[in-house]
């Protein structure tokens, strides 16, 4: 991040760059890929949802997510 601006990583599934943080319920946020409709982990703030999306990785060749939380 630079100058307080967010930098949402490309989609880990399709490499699409049309990703954005969306509010899905009151106080519940996630990142969504507009190219393949993949959604990220849900969190209580836009910043945390973005951080968790950016931290996501996939097991090579499987499409299964590596969880590195906590």
| pTM given for the model | 0.71
Closest by Cα among 31, 34, 33 to 42: 31
Domain contains 9: yes
Domain contains 26: yes
Which residue range(s) make up the domain with 7?
Answer: 1-63
Number of domains in the chain: 1
Domain contains 69: no
Q: CB 23: neighbour CB atoms within 10 A?
A: 11
Domain contains 68: no
Q: What is the pLDDT of residue 66?
A: 56
Domain contains 11: yes
- What is the tens place of the pLDDT at every residue in 28-67? 999 999 999 999 889 999 999 999 998 876 656 655 555 5
Query: How sure is the predictor about 15, in pLDDT bands with cuts at 50, 70 and 90?
Result: confident
């Amino acid at each position: 991040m630079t100058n307080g601006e967010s930098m949402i990583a490309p989609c880990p599934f399709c490499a699409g760059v049309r990703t954005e943080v969306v509010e899905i319920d009151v106080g519940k946020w996630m990142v969504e890929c507009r190219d393949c409709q993949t959604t990220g982990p849900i969190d209580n703030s836009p910043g945390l949802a973005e951080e968790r999306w950016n931290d996501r990785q996939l097991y090579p060749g499987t499409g299964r997510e590596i969880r590195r939380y906590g």
